Amino acid sequence: MTILDSPSQPGDSAGFYASGSGDRLFSDDHFPPAISAFLQSERALLAAAARHKHAIVEIGCHEGTHAEWCRAAGKHYLGVDPVERYIRQGLAKQPDFGERECKLVVGSAEQIDEIIVRELDGILPSDILIFIPFNCFGNITAVESAVGSIARSGCSLLLSAYQTSLPALLARFSYYAACGYNPLTLSRSERGELFHDNNGLHTYAYAAAWLSALFSRFAMTVTPIRHGGIGQAYVTPDLEGGVTGILDSAGADLDNP
């Protein structure tokens, strides 16, 4: 692994996934134990955050990753992904995903406020949870535009990402290497830690202080909360009590950057 103490050039994550190069990241055969534990903790976060919400908007939904969970919980579900191939595959597997209560649409985080107005007309923003799982936020190229759009939506937010701790770094390296992304380069900057390779992998773990400050620039408050050993979640104040209550029993700690 090459380590650079400088930012890299912006990536093209949409193209990386559209080409099929990112498909290996979705195979649990490649998950080291720390990644599996992170995802289990993430599901507990979602259950707590969604409890009093009517609709869940999943950004980076792949083929509708949490659609069945939301439907079983009696929630409206809107899955959004920039990769059209994933949305087509999800619709082919579940033809009823086109119904009002469960939709899959092609779109990006940078336009999520407009997508929510169009697809969830009649549901108040206070009744909507934006959920960004599995460090999907770390793949977004225009991160400032995405934060601005999320802030304009007025919805609650649960963003699940990775810490910039050594255990998280080692787990990510093991995971990406198991997926066959070699040689890997790690670039460090004030933004956080970026893994990238020559085939298009380009995924950030943002520093909690940096990302919290970015949301603040758009007049949106988020609280960083560590979870699942290597996870770093960001939640809006209305969710903080329920989420930390769930995680306190598992020994999670509130991170104050």
Q: What are phi and psi of 23, to 5 degrees?
A: -60, -30
**Per-residue pLDDT, 210:** 98
Lowest mean pLDDT among 8-22, 133-147, 224-238: 8-22
The one-letter code for the residue type at 33 is: P
- Residue 237, pLDDT score: 96
Check residue 251 and give left, alpha or beta (phi > 0: left; psi -120 to 50: alpha). Answer: left
Largest CA distance in the chain: 50
DSSP codes, the chain: -EEESS------HHHHHHTTTTGGGG-GGG--HHHHHHHHHHHHHHHHHTTT-SEEEEET-TTTTTHHHHHHTT-EEEEEES-HHHHHHHHHH-GGGGSTTEEEEE--GGGHHHHHHHHSTTS-GGGEEEEE-TTGGGG-SSHHHHHHHHHHHT-EEEEEEE-SSHHHHHHHHHHHHHTT--S-EEEEETTEEEEE-TTS-EEEEE-HHHHHHHHHHTT---EEEEETTTEEEEE-HHHHHHHHHHHHTTT--B---
Whose tokens are 């890997």? That residue is: 184
| Six-digit token string for 11 | 């990536």
Note the pLDDT of residue 255: 42
Stretch among 53-57, 90-94, 144-148, 228-232 having the lowest mean pLDDT: 90-94
User: What single-letter amino acid sits at 143?
Assistant: V
Structure tokens belonging to residue 74? 């009696």
Would you identify the CATH topology of the domain 27-163+208-248?
Rossmann fold (3.40.50)
| Residues forming a β-bridge with 3 | 186
pLDDT of residue 248: 59
> Above 60 in pLDDT, residue 81?
yes
Q: How confident is the model at residue 253 (pLDDT cuts 50, 70, 90)?
A: very low
Among 73, 120, 118, 76, smallest CA distance to 97 is for 76
What's the Cα-to-Cα distance from 131 to each of 10, 34, 58, 198, 242, rounded to whole Å?
24, 21, 5, 30, 15
**Is residue 85 over pLDDT 80?**
yes
- How far is it, in rounded angstroms, from Cα 228 to Cα 180? 25
Give the chain's mean pLDDT.
91
* pLDDT tens digits for range 156-188: 999 999 999 999 999 999 999 999 999 999 999
Q: What is the pLDDT of residue 99?
A: 72
pLDDT band at 98 (very low <50, low <70, confident <90, very high): low
pLDDT score recorded for residue 252:
44
Q: Is the pLDDT of residue 254 over 60?
A: no
- CA gap 141, 94 in Å, rounded: 30
**In the chain, where are the structural domains located?**
27-163+208-248
pLDDT computed for residue 89 by the predictor:
95
Over residues 35-53, mean pLDDT: 95
pLDDT digits (tens, 9 = 90+) for 193-252: 999 998 899 999 999 999 999 999 999 999 999 999 999 999 999 999 888 777 655 544
Predicted local confidence at residue 155, as pLDDT? 98
pLDDT of residue 10: 64
Residue 31 has pLDDT above 70, yes or no: yes
Go through 223-240 and write b for each residue having 16 or more CB atoms within 10 A of its CB, e for each that does not: bbbbbbbbbbbbbbeebb
